[in-house]
């Protein structure tokens, strides 16, 4: 208890310096929490998305990134090859599709089009899809728009949607909000999208399996039977995403580490200056019986207190920042893309404490080794 009182007295005696040091740790911790919260948010969103998708396997051209819009590189005859294998592999349904992405400066001006074959509608992609206005079937020549995309671009029934200079289709359906990425998709007839892209190829085959069929096993057999394809099951996609996110986490942590190092230097500077200014005080404490271990613990505790309190403040600031980010992403794409999990909060607090420990060790060691005669001799 005596140690805590001394720590508080020493820090408040130099309030301005202590406050700025505390703020440095808080800002550094908050930046780390915010950077890493995107990885946590994406993990949750992706797991939810994969669980809601109807197709268990996604077949694309070999080398296609698991989460990039696939180019139309699958020839029509490849569909026939998969159809021949369907009875043997337990394939229930094959939905060929064409994908086109038109990017913009913000989510409102970016469009992801899915071209579906005749007889297919968004429920083949997302079984929970429901219509809010119009119809779900984009055929023969219309567009069914996700709720968020319709809201951001004021797309209502009958409004023309321009796919290219030559091709324009009317909005024939608006979907109900699903709290999913499908809220930002636009579904059109496949022939229409193939005309825009100038191809007869497909971009992806969405495969639904019979109940009880192992998706990973089917994916492996498809890749063995048909050269030039990647058959990605839901579990494989999640594993790929986890690897990519871990790399992203390391990059984001490396960026935030710069701020953390600056925060650590602030702590070290504050504690070192405090030691220098209190040399005579330490001498008096030693003269009346204080041991070196006590002096060491006192100085180190000051550094740890600054790190702990700054770390906690940074975590709270990170949670608040994450909530603000989610308000924007919910409005823009209908998904919460930032999440401060207990694991992330504990990791951030541990990093702040290690930072304080490292920053306080040398000043604490120096303070505990100051000779009593030298300390009392300073004016």
Residue 315 pLDDT more than 90? yes
- Which residues sit opposite 61 in a β-bridge? 229
Pick the more confident residue, 175 or 295: 175
Beta-carbon count within 10 A of 191 CB: 16
Those residues whose C-beta lies under 8 Å from the C-beta of residue 138, and which sit 6 or more positions away, are: 116, 121, 144, 169, 172, 173, 187, 188, 189
CA distances from 106 to 179, 257, 321, 328 (A): 19, 29, 20, 12
Pairwise CA distance, residues 51 & 179, whole Å? 13
pLDDT tens for each residue of 105-164: 666 678 889 999 998 999 888 888 899 999 999 999 999 999 989 988 889 999 999 898
Q: Which helix (H) or strand (E) holds 358?
A: helix 342-368
- The model's pLDDT over 212-233, given as tens digits with 9 standing for 90+, comes to 889 889 999 999 999 989 888 8
Average pLDDT over residues 5-15: 75
Residue 74, both tokens: 């699958």
Q: Please, which residues have CB within 8 angstroms of residue 310's CB and are 6 or more apart in sequence?
A: 21, 22, 23, 24, 25, 26, 28, 29, 263, 352
Compute the distance between CA of residue 161 and CA of residue 298 in angstroms, rounded to an integer.
Answer: 69
pLDDT in tens, 20-31: 788 888 888 888
Which two structure tokens, joined as six digits, stand for 299? 């100085």
- As a whole number of angstroms, the distance between CA 188 and CA 115 comes to 5
- pLDDT band for 255, please (50, 70, 90 cuts): confident
For residue 183, CA distances in Å to 127, 238, 272 come to: 13, 21, 55
User: H helices then E strands: how many in the chain?
Assistant: 11, 10
Cα separation, 68 vs 63, in Å, equals 11
> Cis omega (within 30 of 0) on the bond before 140?
yes
Residue with more model confidence, 378 or 309: 309
What pLDDT shows up at residue 379? 47
Per-residue confidence (pLDDT) for residue 375, from 0 to 100: 53
Exposure on the CB side of residue 3, measured as CA atoms within 13 A: 13
Q: Cα–Cα distance between 306 and 263 in angstroms, integer? A: 10
Contacts of 180 (CB under 8 A, 6+ apart): 48, 49, 52, 126, 334, 335
Between 181 and 173, the more confident residue is 173
**pLDDT tier at 67 (50, 70, 90 boundaries)?**
low
Pairing of strands 57-61, 229-233: antiparallel
- 143/268: higher pLDDT: 143
- Alpha helix locations (H) across 226-291? 234-277, 279-287
Question: What is the distance in angstroms between the CA of the first residue and the CA of the last residue of the chain?
Answer: 30
């Amino acid at each position: 208890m005596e140690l805590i009182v001394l720590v508080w007295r020493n820090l408040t005696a130099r309030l301005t310096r202590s406050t700025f040091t505390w703020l440095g740790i808080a800002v550094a911790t908050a930046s780390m929490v915010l950077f890493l919260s995107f990885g946590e948010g994406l993990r949750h969103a992706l797991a939810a998305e994969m669980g809601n998708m109807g197709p268990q396997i996604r077949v694309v051209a070999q080398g296609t990134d698991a989460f990039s819009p696939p180019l139309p590189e699958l020839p029509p005859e490849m569909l026939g090859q998969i159809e021949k294998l369907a009875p043997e592999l337990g394939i229930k349904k094959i939905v060929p599709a064409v994908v086109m992405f038109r990017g913009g400066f913000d989510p409102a001006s970016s469009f992801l089009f899915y071209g579906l074959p005749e007889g297919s509608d968004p429920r083949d992609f997302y079984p929970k899809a429901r219509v809010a206005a119009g119809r779900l079937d984009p055929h023969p020549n219309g567009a069914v728009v996700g709720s968020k995309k319709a809201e951001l671009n004021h797309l209502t029934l009958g409004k023309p949607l321009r796919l290219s200079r030559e091709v324009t289709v009317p909005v024939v359906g608006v979907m109900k909000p699903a709290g999913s990425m499908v809220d930002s998709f636009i579904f059109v007839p496949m022939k229409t999208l193939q005309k825009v892209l100038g191809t007869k190829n497909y971009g992806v085959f969405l495969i639904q399996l019979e109940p009880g069929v192992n998706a990973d096993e089917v994916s492996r057999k498809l890749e063995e039977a048909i050269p030039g394809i990647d058959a990605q099951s839901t579990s494989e996609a999640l594993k790929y995403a986890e690897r990519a996110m871990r790399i992203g986490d390391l990059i984001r942590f490396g960026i935030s580490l710069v701020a953390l190092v600056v925060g650590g230097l602030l702590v070290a500077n504050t504690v070192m200056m405090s030691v220098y200014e209190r040399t005579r005080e330490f001498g008096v404490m030693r003269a009346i019986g204080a041991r070196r271990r006590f002096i060491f613990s006192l100085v180190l505790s000051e550094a740890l207190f600054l790190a702990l309190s700054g770390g906690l403040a940074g975590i709270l600031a990170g949670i608040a920042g994450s909530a603000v980010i989610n308000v924007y992403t919910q409005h823009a794409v209908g998904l919460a893309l930032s999440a401060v999990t207990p694991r992330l909060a504990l990791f951030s607090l541990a990093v702040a404490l290690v930072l304080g420990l490292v920053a306080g060790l040398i000043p604490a060691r120096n303070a505990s080794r100051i000779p009593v005669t030298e300390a009392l001799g300073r004016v």
